[in-house]
Structure 1
Amino acid sequence: MKKFLSLACCSVMTFSLVGCSGSDAGNSASGNYVNLAKENDVISMDSRYATDGMSFEMLASTIEGLESVDADGNIIPALAESYDVSEDGLTYTFHLRDAVWSNDAPVTAQDFEYAWDATIKNPKAEYAYLFGSDGACIQNANEILAGDDSLELGAKALDEKTFEVKLSQKCPYFLSLMSFPVFYPVNEEFATEKGDDYALTADALLANGPFKLESWSKGNKLVLVKNEKYWDADNVKVDGMNVNIVPEASTSALDFESGNTDFTKLNSTLVDKYKDSDSYTTVLEGYLWYLQYNFANKYLQNENLRKAISTVVDRQDLVENVLKDGSVVCGGFVPEALSTGPDGKDYRE
């Protein structure tokens, strides 16, 4: 496998550096394993409550939603083999393919209805707001989020393979959101059986995606193995992934050099050392970093003062000479290269 060391650059204010090399086998199991070094551990493998990027990555490796995203950022069918949209654009009817969870239970429309209902009605689910008008615009979501328990979310299982979602208004990016973890399904019977232990350990989690979580040593390592029951398992080309939690970039860089790590993040202090290596490249990602003012402060309530503060920040110098992590200057709240419009132009434009 060819070695690569990649730098993750940000399309906005700050970014991290990433690298990857390539060994043919993992260090915890025989076969073709990919070895990853990650800064942070998973916070939650419960798709209803996860809020951090690392958790989202691992969830997306083990669970699929209605739609997914290909390597070019295009929305493609996942568990929904097809869908219909009403003439007014307010009703989506998803037709699920034959798929099973890793315990052989079929993936059904009820799994989506249960997960969505449990999410939007639980104040601990921080991303539940995406069901409302700030996200997918699902019918009655705003009212339920505001505390109205008398209403039902406009999403229901018509039968085991048909899931209907009604919107309160048109949402052009609705299908894109269906690939986000908060919209993933949850098997109600299994989750109820596990209770408070659900998704806290490998044994307390089901998979319907390309990999399943075999072991999870918190703060140390996750091992994911190929899910042979995945509906598209023939196209999963590796046997699994070893995900090592390595907070220090210098340590993971040394592991990379020794061939024990296939992908690692670099910090700004390591860029000069590796930037001329054939294994080093850059990857544009869509993170945004910004200053948020305290509007309770009487001085900062003054718009002109806030504008003045903004003018004294030399963004170019900040990204090139201070951060040195691949960041690019932020020209607005919408990052560059976040998405491409129907006209082929960057959405930022």
Structure 2
Amino acid sequence: MRRKLYLSLTSLVVASLALSACGGVQDDTAGKKKQIFNMVDVSEPPQLNSAKTSDASSLYLLNNVMEGLYRMDKNNEPIPAIANDVKISGDKKTYTFTLRDAKWSDGKPVTAKDFEFAWKTALDPKTKAEYSNILYPIKGAEAFNMSKGKESDVGVKAIDDKTLKVELKNPVPYFLNLTTFGTFKPIRQDIYEKYGSKYATEPDKMVYNGPFVMSEWKHEKSYDLKKNDSYWDKKNVKLAGVHTDIVKDQNTAQNLYQTGKTDFTSLSQEFVDKWKGKPEVMPFKEATTFYLQFNTKNKFFKNAKIRKAISMAVDRKTMTDKIEKNGSKPAGALVPPNIKATEDQMFREMTKEYVSYDKKEAKKLLKEGMKEEGIKKIPSIELLGYDSSNGKKDQEYLKEQLNDVLGIDVDLRPMPFSQKLDLENKGKFQITFAGWGADYNDPMTFLDMWITGNSFNRGKWSNKEFDKLIKKSQANPDFKQRIEDLKKAEAVMMDEAPIAPLYYRSRLYLKKPYVKGLVTHPFGADFTFKWMSIEEK
């Protein structure tokens, strides 16, 4: 999943059309402008269909307008949400959830069937959901998704309106953690079928069961959230709403913050020194790795030595210290340092960093790889990238490095996130600058996406040994051996170099002193607004 930035401009505007679609949501804090949180994002979500979405903006929004069985609390631990209780079998393979009394934004009850429908919709091969594999721990889920099994054999069943039974293939130590993730949110079948392909593309084409509803969406400009008066825990929601503007230029964002027109913004590289040491700076330590992903079906990049050469040609420390300047650290592997292997040890502590800056070796490997492929002249290459200010700086640095070290001419192609994602999904790229943030606290969230055929493996890399190790780890009840196999899998991947890891990302934000209770998450969705409030300015 990929994470981004946030900020905004003005007070909340409520669209009457959206309100009627959400069932007449009332704002019991109406008129209290101090309870409007203003922020910005660099790109809008493609859509809010939890069965299909995969990007950071959509997932953060779903976390605030929808409610799963569990949600992450202020300490990043899963707590009951729509689930009021859960009973776990002795073999830890059957979870029986009892749902609390909760309503959708149109007043209809949230039922166990809404969860069963949502999960099976994400698994339906016709949905082509990129995140279908996150449901694979459920018995029969993978077979159904791969058109090798029946929907009726999937181990999720609404026993009655208030009881959901989930059967797993094998014990999964982080399953309750998984239920907080966007793909596990409920979907109302009648609403989904009413709007078809238009479902969740506009505020009035979905219903909500979370702390907020989306009340207005001006595409590529702004969107608004409004407190959901039908939410089961509305008494603990203090904000009246959230307004987000799409602002790609960080100079503009900084100006809005300094002039008091926004409450919260990312602190971009060029302003770090100015704000250094000031109390409004808020660090966000996330579990995210940024990297270059190679299209291994391309003649040039199908060669592992060429891919390694490009990886070794990047001076990561200069990139983090001089370009990022936000606490990000050079990455020599895929899984970031704050992902656990066991309760008391991090995965990175049990293995090593595999990649480092080495100009001499990079030139040697490029020469050897080109000889193996019969390529006599270094081709120019295209690099897909982000059109945000920070993204452009990173990409300019990468272009400079590859040209200086290897003599490769790089054509930068910055573009809106949705357009970039579409090209990646279609395999229409040579190299793409991308990142992945943890969906849950386990190395598997970074590793299983690279198995053959996975929808996130957009460069089409394939390795039988890697696939075997991941498949074994997914089913291994011996958690100690499982971690050993995951270490081996990452080592195989780093040796083949389908990606060039660049940095383990941290972020800095500016937050007004009167903004209280904003919760950040290193795993899954970035932010929770449920417990926020705005004090007197």
Please report the TM-score for the alignment, with normalisation by the length of structure 2.
Answer: 0.57
Task: Indicate the SS of the match to 1:56.
Answer: helix
Counterparts in 2 of 1:268 and 1:83: CA distance versus 1, 3 Å: same
The DSSP-based 3-state class of the residue aligned with 2:193 is helix
Matches within 5 A, 1:126-145: 126-132=130-136, 137-145=137-145
Within 5 Å, give how 1:271-290 maps onto structure 2: 271-290=272-291
Give the aligned residue type for 1:245. I
Q: Is the 8 A contact 1:340 1:346 kept in 2?
A: yes
Q: What is the aligned length?
A: 328
Structure 1 counterpart of 2:195: 194
Tell me if 1:74 matches 2:77.
yes
CA distance in 2, matches of 1:69, 1:348: 24
2: CA distance, partners of 1:15 / 1:217: 21
Return 5+ residue gaps in structure 1 as ranges.
1-13
2:4 and 2:56 in contact (8 A); partners too: no
**Structure 1 residues 67-146: aligned runs within 5 Å:** 67-121=70-124, 122-132=126-136, 137-146=137-146
* Structure 2 SS opposite 1:224: strand
> How many Å separate the matches in 1 of 2:3 and 2:114?
36
Contact 1:90 1:169 in 2 (8 A): yes
> 1:330 Cα shift?
2.0
Q: Secondary structure at the match of 2:289?
A: coil
**Residue 246 of structure 1, CA deviation:** 1.1
Listed one character per residue, the Cα deviations across residues 184-227 of structure 1 (whole Å, up to 9, x for unaligned) are 10011222223333212111121111111111111111111111
SS, match of residue 291 in structure 2: coil
How much does 1:148 deviate? 2.3
**76-85 or 304-313, which moves further after superposition?**
304-313
- Asked if the contact 2:4–2:42 (Cα under 8 Å) also holds between the matched residues in 1, the reply is no
Query: Which secondary structure does the structure 2 equivalent of 1:316 belong to?
Result: helix
Aligned to 1:8: none
Residue 4 of structure 1 corresponds to: none
Superposed displacement of residue 124, structure 1? 2.6
Q: Take 1:191 and 1:102, find their aligned partners in 2: how far apart are those partners?
A: 15
User: Contact (CA 8 Å) 1:44, 1:55: kept in 2 or not?
Assistant: yes
Q: How far did residue 331 of structure 1 move?
A: 4.6
- 1:237/1:339 CA distance change after superposition, 3 Å: farther
Residue identity matched to 1:126: E
| Between 72-81 and 194-203, the greater mean CA deviation after superposition | 194-203
Q: Is the 8 A contact 1:144 1:151 kept in 2?
A: yes
* Shift of residue 232, structure 1, vs aligned partner: 0.9
Change (3 A) 1:63 1:17: closer
Larger radius of gyration: 2
**Does residue 220 of the first structure (1) align with residue 221 of the second (2)?**
yes
8 A contact 1:19–1:279 mirrored in 2: no
Task: Name the CA shift for 1:165/1:217 in 2 (closer, same or farther; >3 Å).
Answer: same
**CA distance in structure 1 between the partners assigned to 2:223 and 2:300 by the alignment:** 48
* Residue pair 2:123, 2:129 contacting (<8 A) in 1 also: yes
Question: 1:116, 1:66 → 2: CA distance?
Answer: 12
CA contact (8 A) 1:16 1:268 kept: no
| Conserved 8 A contact 1:17-1:267 | no
What are the Cα deviations for residues 28-85 of structure 1, in whole angstroms up to 9, with x where unaligned? Answer: 4732110011111121111111111011111111001111101221111111111111
1:26 partnered with 2:29:
no
State the shift of 1:332 in Å. Answer: 3.0
Closer, same or farther: CA 302–196 of 1 in aligned 2, 3 Å: closer
Provide the secondary structure at the position in 1 that maps to 2:142: helix
**Structure 1 position 275, deviation (Å):** 2.6
Q: Are the aligned partners of 1:17 and 1:271 in contact in 2 as well (CA < 8 Å)? A: no
1:141/1:97 CA distance change after superposition, 3 Å: same
Matches of 1:207 and 1:99, distance apart in 2: 11
Please give the alpha-carbon distance, in whole angstroms, between the structure 2 residues aligned to 1:47 and 1:41. Answer: 15
Q: Which amino acid aligns with 2:78?
A: I
Q: Equivalent residues in 2 for 1:217-296 (5 A)?
A: 217-296=218-297
Output one character per residue of 1:259-293: Cα deviation in whole Å (capped at 9) or x when no partner: 11111123322322333433223111122112334
Does the C-alpha gap of structure 1 residues 43 and 297 become closer, same or farther in structure 2, counting only changes over 3 Å? closer
The aligned amino acid for 2:69 is L
In 2: Cα distance, 1:15 partner to 1:68 partner = 18
Q: What is the deviation of 1:339?
A: 5.0
Describe the superposition over 1:126-169 as per-residue Cα deviations: whole angstroms up to 9, x where unpaired: 1111111xxxx111112112212535311110111110111111
Structure 1 distance, partners of 2:116, 2:337, is 35
Counterpart amino acid of 1:232? D
User: 1:98, 1:106 within 8 Å by CA — same for their partners in 2?
Assistant: yes
Q: What runs of 5+ residues in structure 2 fail to find an aligned partner?
A: 14-29, 350-537
Superimposed CA distance per residue, residues 309-338 of structure 1 (whole angstroms, 9 cap, x where no aligned partner): 544433222211233343212253221224
Aligned partner of 1:148 in structure 2 is 148
Backbone CA RMSD of aligned residues: 2.6
Residues of 2 paired with 1:330 and 1:85: CA distance?
38
- Report how far residue 296 of structure 1 moved: 4.8
8 A Cα contact 2:117 2:189, kept in partner: yes
Identify which of structures 1 and 2 has the higher relative contact order when contacts are C-alpha pairs closer than 8 Å and 6+ apart.
1
Larger mean Cα displacement after TM superposition, 26-35 or 249-258: 26-35
Cα distance change of structure 1 residues 18 and 33 upon mapping to structure 2, 3 Å threshold: closer
Higher mean C-alpha deviation, range 58-67 or range 314-323: 314-323
Question: Aligned equivalents of 1:221 and 1:294: distance in 2?
Answer: 34
The residue number in structure 1 matching 2:53 is 50
Q: Which residue of 2 aligns with 1:5?
A: none
Amino acid of the residue matched to residue 225 of structure 2?
L
The farther-off stretch of 101-110 and 200-209 is: 200-209
